[in-house]
Chains A and B, each alone.
Chain A
Amino acid sequence: MSDDGARIDLDETDRKILRELLRDGSLAAGAVGRRVGLSQPAAWRRIKRLEAAGVILGRRLVLDREKLGFGVTVFLGVKLAARGRVSLEDFERAVAAIPEVQIVQHVLGVYDYRLRVVARDLADFERILRRRIMTLPGVGDVESNVLLSVEKDAPGLV
């Protein structure tokens, strides 16, 4: 997801299209066109161009976690124990393969990696932490912070 697409020049209409798509990713080209004052084919062509240029990477289905029984979201800060002696690739491959781990980010700061984990409840989280995370190659210090509330979730400035 961090691949640098070729930088393209965006005009105000492209930005409007991106803003509409960020607000509602299920909009079809026709609906996007109506909102920004373009015909369906014109909107479609611009969306395709943004996809081809790597600005739009794709779409994700958004599900209600709680309604599907996932009541707990935890952020983990992970420090690797023996730098240099463990292969980062081994750790990354193993952690990304855990289905409950939704986000894996390599970061600079007090931790080496930042993970977001979903679980059914705290007992389920503890099981994932003990059996799947703490057993990963190279894992050292792990800090858990449980998500209480999301106070803002804005797509960002286009």
Chain B
Amino acid sequence: MHAVDDMDRKLLRILQDDPDLSTARLAEEVGLSAGACWRRIERMEAAGIIRGRETVINWRALGYEVEVYLRITLDKTETNAFDSFIRAARDVPEVTRLETLLGRVDIRMDIRARDLAHYQEIYKDRILTLPHILDIEALMLVSELKHSESLPI
């Protein structure tokens, strides 16, 4: 494992808050030369510690008003329940995220739809037809108060 030191952590903390900060400004803030700062960032990118940057999109502005999180319990008496469920669910384009969990439910997935009618259509035609479902619980997003990828480093 690649070790990060206090200076690396400082750089990451600043970049987490402001990912668009230029290397020159970043260097200034931590008191490094621009070259030294750039090399540290490069090293953390090469080591896969910094995986990249992601664009944050306002899906509502694009006409996607509905976001639903489905929590699914699978019929585990079926030997291949997980594999065949995941394979089929992955192919549903409106499923944006699919995760396996340890807890009361087995699977969690995110669905994004244009409106409730569209969601209902996806649910009926593409979700309920997935294999080995025992139970489904739905949580519908009302508002998002915090969404950060920042780590408490």
B80 in the interface, Cβ–Cβ < 8 Å? no
* B69 with A102: CB separation less than 8 A: no
B2: A residues at CB distance < 8 A: 67
Q: Is the CB of B153 within 8 A of A68?
A: yes
**B140–A148 CB distance below 8 A:** no
Q: Quick one: CB contact mask for B25-69 with A, threshold 8 Å, 1 for yes?
A: 000000000000000000000011111111111111111100001
A60 interface neighbour in B19, B90, B98, B137, Cβ under 8 Å: B19
Chain B: which residue is nearest A145 at the CB level?
B103
A8-B47 Cα distance, complex, nearest whole Å? 40
Minimum distance in angstroms from A156 CB to a CB of chain B = 5
- B94 CB to nearest chain A CB (Å): 7
- How many residue pairs bridge A and B at CB < 8 Å? 213
Cα of A102 to Cα of B148 in the assembled complex, Å: 5
A53 CA to B62 CA, complexed, in Å: 10
Smallest CB gap from A148: residue in B = B100
Q: Return chain A residues, CB-CB under 8 Å to B125.
A: none
A25 touches B55 (CB 8 A): yes
Chain A: how many interface residues by the 8 Å CB criterion? Answer: 66
**Docked complex Cα distance between A64 and B100 (Å):** 19
Q: What distance in Å separates the Cβ of A61 from its nearest Cβ neighbour in chain B?
A: 4
- Asked whether B101 is an interface residue with its Cβ less than 8 Å from the other chain, the reply is yes
A residues within 8 A CB of B146? 96, 101-104
Residues in A5-38 with C-beta less than 8 Å from chain B: 5-8, 10, 18, 21-22, 24-26
Q: A54-B61, A147-B100 are in contact. List 19 more A-B contacts (CB 8 A).
A: A2-B144, A3-B58, A4-B58, A5-B60, A6-B61, A59-B20, A60-B19, A61-B149, A62-B54, A96-B145, A103-B146, A105-B144, A106-B144, A107-B69, A145-B103, A146-B103, A147-B101, A150-B97, A155-B57
- Return 30 A-B CB contacts under 8 Å, by A number: A2-B60, A4-B61, A22-B57, A53-B61, A55-B61, A58-B20, A58-B55, A59-B20, A61-B19, A62-B52, A63-B16, A63-B51, A64-B48, A65-B151, A100-B152, A102-B150, A103-B144, A103-B147, A104-B147, A106-B144, A107-B69, A109-B138, A110-B137, A110-B139, A145-B101, A151-B99, A152-B95, A153-B96, A157-B112, A158-B62
